[in-house]
């Protein structure tokens, strides 16, 4: 079977719209007649939904995908408390082993045309004493999609993240401008400054939405070519 085209989705910070962007990209792929799945290898923070404890980001990815592959594959490592993963792991007496994450990724990649792997927090979030999300992205070996939370300071955050991505030997396949601050001054000028400096294609600009509506937000958004 042909393996899915896959990308690792990271962001300039936490709470800047990685899940919103990933879901919008999944809907964009499905609108082209492609089967698409999202994966959240590591997550922290759960809530009770329909009798199961699930992370909100994982739940949104499951809803946006073409079908439900099961949480064991979609979100193989999840902690109860909404805190930094390495601290949550210590709190629960567990460790974050990349091997089962890579196995789940391998299985998911055989099930769809498109697979988007969403990181946790920013690009370098500790997962253990000597391992972080940048190491995980390197082990997946995927080109990276960078979600830039458009607000004051985003240019420096984006350029530093892009530099870190390339230092790990990974390709920055594209970036998305997500409007987290609708009152941001000189928005278009900031997008243009990033377009000139990131050396990767702009995959789209997502508007600010009070409530997530990834299906509607997919307009104008596209996967890297």
Cite the active site residues. Answer: 40
Rg (CA), the chain: 16
DSSP of the chain: -PPPEEEEEEESSSSSSHHHHHHHHHHHHHHTT--EEEE-SEEE--EEETTEEE-HHHHHHHHHSSS---HHHHSSEEESSSS-HHHHHHHTT----HHHHHHHHHHHTTT-SEEEEE-SSSS--EEETTEEHHHHHHHHT--EEEEEE-STTHHHHHHHHHHHHHHTT--EEEEEEE-S-TT-TTHHHHHHHHHHHS-S-EEEEEPP-SS--HHHHTTT-----
Confirm if 143 and 224 have CB atoms less than 8 A apart.
yes
Distance CA 200, CA 113 (A): 23
Distance CA 123, CA 65 (A): 23
Confirm if 145 and 9 have CB atoms less than 8 A apart.
yes
């Amino acid at each position: 079977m042909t393996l899915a085209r896959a990308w690792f989705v990271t962001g300039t910070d936490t709470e800047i719209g990685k899940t919103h962007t990933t879901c919008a990209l999944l809907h964009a792929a499905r609108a082209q007649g492609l089967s698409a799945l999202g994966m959240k290898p590591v997550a922290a923070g759960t809530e009770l939904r329909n009798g199961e404890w699930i992370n909100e980001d994982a739940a949104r990815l499951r809803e946006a995908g073409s079908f439900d592959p099961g949480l064991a594959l979609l979100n193989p490592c999840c902690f109860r408390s909404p805190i930094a993963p390495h601290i949550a792991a210590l709190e629960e007496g567990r460790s974050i082993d990349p091997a089962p994450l890579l196995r789940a990724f391998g299985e998911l990649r055989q099930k769809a045309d498109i697979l988007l792997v969403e990181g946790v927090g920013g690009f370098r979030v500790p997962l253990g004493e000597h391992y972080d999300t940048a190491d995980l992205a390197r082990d997946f070996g995927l080109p990276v999609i960078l979600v830039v939370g458009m607000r004051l300071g985003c240019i420096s955050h984006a350029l530093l993240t892009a530099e870190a991505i390339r230092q790990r030997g990974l390709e920055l396949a594209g970036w998305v401008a997500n409007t987290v601050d609708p009152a941001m001054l000189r928005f278009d000028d900031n997008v243009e400054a990033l377009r000139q400096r990131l050396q990767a294609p702009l995959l789209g600009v997502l508007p600010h939405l009070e409530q997530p509506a990834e299906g509607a937000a997919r307009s104008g958004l596209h996967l890297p070519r």
